[in-house]
Chains A and B, each alone.
Chain A
């Protein structure tokens, strides 16, 4: 059971918009920055969003992030078949004496 909760799957048609939610608590999302990762089939995760809503160089502005309270959301507009992947949220958790990174369980995006 992951510390952060994501829907197992989402789907939408090409060209449409989709959002993926990530729910946590005050010990993680509520007091720390959220990052998002894309994992294409058979490849390593890739950073999509950091500090809640910042995009690394090379990530298109079709990808966006937001955070409110103890939840965060990844948005993807103009869906393409190449966006089919697993998406993970991550953040720092300070619930124990030694903080650590926690991830959501992942959301599989299907572009119909």
Chain B
């Protein structure tokens, strides 16, 4: 597609449930990033995939968070046993190998844990 697509756009879940967030990057973009943004705050880095290299998972806040990228394209961010503090907008971005034009962001998934 023309842009980065994220689904769902909104997700309300009960505390303790697992959720999966999906990101479809721009075709041909080798790099894919997940960020989290709490209300009125900046972006918090979560995880970064670059081609066939091992992902940089240094931003994942706990072992309840995991992500995978299948076939170098679609990525899924999974949060297990959700907590209220997980409520945030989860943003995905992709870029070409050398992002001369910067990253392209999706519209995000707003996760609310009740």
**A, B in one complex:** no
Chain A interface (Cβ within 8 Å of chain B)?
none
